[in-house]
Structure 1
Amino acid sequence: MNIALMIILTLVMLTVLVVVHEFGHFIAARRAGVYVLEFSIGMGPLLFSHKGKETVFAVRALPIGGFCQMWGEDDADGELAEEYGVPEDLPPERSFMKISKAKKLLILFAGPLMNLILAFIILFGLYLAGGQSFPASLVSSSKLFVSFSGAIYQSLHQLIVGKLSLNDFAGPVGMVGMVGNFASHGVLSFLLFCALISVNLGIINLLPFPALDGGQILVTLAEMIARRDLSPKAAMILNGVGFACLMVFSVVVAVNDVLRYLH
C-alpha cells in the first residue's frame, strides 16, 4: 500500500476516534448545562467556524484529533471566556468548575465511554456483516471486546512491573505500518483495527493520571471525599505536569519507533 495513503488513513482514523471521544464530552456537558465555548475537528490554525446559539463549531488545519472547550475548564484567569465572548450575566453554575461533582464525573467519563461504545458497535457490525445472527453477533462482539480490554490492561500491567519497556510500544511509524497492514487485508480488517484502537483510547483515558480523564475523575472523587476543592490554578499546574510527562513518553516512544525503522 502507498505510504501516503497509509498516513492519510492513520490520520483519518485517529481524528475520527478523538472527535467521537470529544463529542461524548460535548453531549454530556450540554446535558449538564455547561457553557461549551468550542467544539473543534482538528487542531491548529482555524479553517472554518460557525457560531451556534452558544458554541463555536470549528474545523482546524491539522487533522490530528479535535477538542471540546468548556467554560471554566483550564481557564483560571478567564481569558478564554473573554476570547469567546461569554455573556457577563451568565450564571456561574454554567461553568465546568462550578457544576456539581456528579455532573463533572459524568462529563469526564462520557469521552472514554463513547470510544468504548464505538468499538463495541464496530465489532458487532463486523460479526453481523460476517453472517452471524443478531444474538450470536452480540455474544461474539462482547467476547472480543473483553479480550481487547484484557490485552490492553495486561500490557499496562507488564509495563508497570517492568516486563515491558518503552521500546515495546509502537509510535507514529509503527501505527502507520499497522494501519497499512490491516487496511491491505480489506475494509473489515481495517475496521477491526479501528475498534482495537478505540478500546485502547477509551481505557488509556480512564487511567488515574493527570491530564487524562481518569486523573480528573480521581481528583473529583478526592474533592468529594475531602469536601474541599482543588484551586483552579493548582488543577492547571497538575494537568500541565501530567501533560508534560505524557509528551515526554510520546517523544521517547516516537524516537524509538524511528530508530527501529532506520535499523
Structure 2
Amino acid sequence: MSFLVSLIVISALIFFHELGHYFAARAMGVYVEVFSIGFGRRIASFKRWGTEWKLAIIPLGGYVKMKGQDDSDPTKKSYDNDSYNVKTPSQKIFILLAGPLANFVLAFVLYFVIALGGPNVLSPVIGNVVKESPAFLAGLETNDTVRSINGTPITEWKEMAEIIEASDGQLSLEVERGGYIHFITLSPKITQTTNMFNEVIEKKMIGIGSAGVSHKLELGVGETLSYATEQTAFASTLIFTGLKKLIVGEVPAKELGGIISIVKLTSDATDAGWMSVLFFAALISVNLGVLNLLPIPALDGGHIMFNLYELIFRREVNEEIMVKLTIAGWVILFSLMGLGLYNDINRLVG
C-alpha cells in the first residue's frame, strides 16, 4: 500500500509539472503532440484535444512533446505556425518556466492545506538533559516545559532553539515543572554538533533534547497564508543550499539520494499519516521545481539558458554546439541518477 501511495504521489507531482508546460504551450499557440507520465513502453493512452495522453512503464519522470521540439534530436525542427520553433525566445522561456512554476504553486497549495489542518509542531518540552551541560548544571530536568526566555513567550521548540542560538550572555528561563513555575538562569555554551547536511558545525546550545511532545498550530487566515509562503520559501532555500554544498564538495556525494530514497521516504510518510504525506509531497514538488531550473541541457533550465542567449545576442545557439551540450546534459543527468541509485542500494545493503 505504501509503495502504491509513493507511486501516486510521484506521478501526481510529475503530472502537475508537465501540466504547467502544457497549458503554457497551448496559451502560446504551440501544438502539443504527446503528454506522457513515465518513459518507455506505453501502458495506456487516449487522444483528446489533439494530444496523445499516455502512461508509460518507467515512472521516473514525464514529458510534454511539443511540435518542433525533440530533446533526443535537437536538429529536428518545424517552422509551422503552431510549432515551438517559431515562437520568440520570451515565449519559449514562458513555456519552459511554467513547469517549475507549477511545482512551486502546488507546494504552496499543499502547505496551505496542511496549515488549514493544523500542522503539528514540537512543544518546548525537555527530554534528555546532557550531563555537565549548562542545562544540567542550572538544574533543568526531563519533562520541564519552557514557557518563556528573557520574557519572550515560547510555544514551539524551534522558537526556543533560535533564541538560544542567537543569544548573547545569560538567559532567564521560565520553566513549568509539576504544575509549579521555576525561574532558571544559565549561559549557553558553544558546542560542536551536526546540521541537516551532516556537516560538523559549532553553535550555542544549552545541552537539552526534545521530549518529542507535539501540539497543533491553530492558524488564522492570514497566518495560514504566511505559513504556506514561509514553508515554500524555506523548502526552496533548503534545496538550493543543499545543491550548492553538493557542487562545491561541502556535502559528500554519498549523501545524494535517488528514486529508491524518494519511494522509501514517501512510504515512511504514508505510515506516519496523511499530514506527513502532504509535507513530503510539498517538499518533493519544490525539489522538482528547483532541479528543473538547473542550467543543464535536457532540463528546463538548459533550454532557458539557450533562449536567454538568443534573447541577448539576437541569434540562436550554434546547432552543433547545442547538440553537443544536449548530449553532455543527458550524460550528466543519467550520471546523477545512477549515482543516486548506487547510493540508495548501498544504504539498503548497509
User: Normalized against structure 1, the TM-score is what?
Assistant: 0.87
Report the equivalent of 2:248: 161
Structure 2 residue aligned with 1:98: 86
Q: Helix, strand or coil: the match of 2:272?
A: coil
Taking the aligned partners of 2:316 and 2:76, their CA distance within structure 1 comes to 18
Task: Please show how residues 147-158 of structure 1 align to structure 2 within 5 Å.
Answer: 147-158=234-245
1:82-101, CA deviations, whole angstroms, 9 ceiling, x for partnerless residues?
Answer: xxxxxxxxx72321111111
Q: Deviations over 1:223-250 (max 9, x none)?
A: 1111111255643442222011110111
Runs (5+) with no aligned partner, structure 2: 119-217
* Alignment counterpart, residue 52 of structure 1, candidates 23, 45, 48: 48
**Counterpart for residue 296 of structure 2:** 209
Asked if 1:110 corresponds to 2:98, the answer is yes
Shift of 1:64: 3.6
- Counterpart of 2:117 (choices 129, 140, 148) is 129
1:35 and 1:121 mapped to 2: Cα distance?
Answer: 29
Is 1:229 the counterpart of 2:229 in the alignment? Answer: no
**Aligned-partner SS, 1:183:** helix
Larger radius of gyration: 2
The Cα RMSD (Å) is 2.0
Cα distance per residue 1:104-145 (max 9 Å; x no partner) = 010000000000000000001110121522211001111111
Output the amino acid matched with 2:250.
Answer: K
Over the matched positions of the two proteins, sequence identity in percent amounts to 35
Relative to structure 1, the CA distance from residue 246 to residue 132 in structure 2 (aligned partners, 3 Å threshold; closer, same or farther) is same
Is 1:31 the counterpart of 2:27 in the alignment?
yes
Q: Does 1:66 align with 2:53?
A: no
1:18 aligns with 2:105: no
Report the 3-state secondary structure (helix = DSSP H, G, I; strand = E; otherwise coil) of the residue aligned with 1:113: helix
Which residue identity does 1:100 align to in structure 2?
A: T
Number of matched pairs? 249
- Asked if 1 retains the 8 angstrom alpha-carbon contact of 2:2 and 2:271, the reply is no
Task: State the Cα distance separating 1:46 from its structure 2 match.
Answer: 2.1
* Deviation, structure 1 residue 53: 4.2
- In structure 2, do the counterparts of structure 1 residues 177 and 51 end up closer, same or farther at CA, with 3 Å as the change threshold? closer
Q: Which residue of 2 aligns with 1:86?
A: none
Contact 1:76 1:233 in 2 (8 A): no
2:228 is the counterpart of 1:240: no
Measured after TM superposition, the shift of residue 62 of structure 1 is 3.5
Cα offset, 1:36, TM superposition: 0.8
Q: In structure 1, what residue type is equivalent to 2:294? A: L
**Where does structure 1 lack aligned partners over 5 or more consecutive residues?**
82-90
Letter in 1 for 2:84: F
Distance 1:40 1:172 in 2: 18
Q: Give the superposition deviation at 1:60.
A: 2.8
CA distance in 1 between partners of 2:46 and 2:264 (Å)? 36
Provide the C-alpha distance between the structure 1 equivalents of 2:57 and 2:244, rounded to a whole number of angstroms: 37
- Note the C-alpha offset of 1:173: 2.9
User: Between Structure 1 and Structure 2, which shows a larger proportion of helix residues?
Assistant: 1
Structure 2 length-normalised TM: 0.67
Query: Structure 1's 184 and 76: CA in aligned 2 closer, same or farther, altered over 3 A?
Result: closer
State the shift of 1:72 in Å.
0.7
Change beyond 3 A, Cα 1:93–1:183? same
Report what 1:85 is aligned to.
Answer: none
| Matching of residue 193 in structure 1 with residue 302 in structure 2 | no
Shift in CA distance, 33/231, structure 1 to aligned 2, threshold 3 Å: farther
Partner of 2:151 in structure 1?
A: none
Quick one: structure 1 residues 160 and 65, their matched pair in 2 at CA, closer, same or farther if it must change by over 3 Å? closer
Tell me, what secondary structure is at the counterpart of 1:184? helix
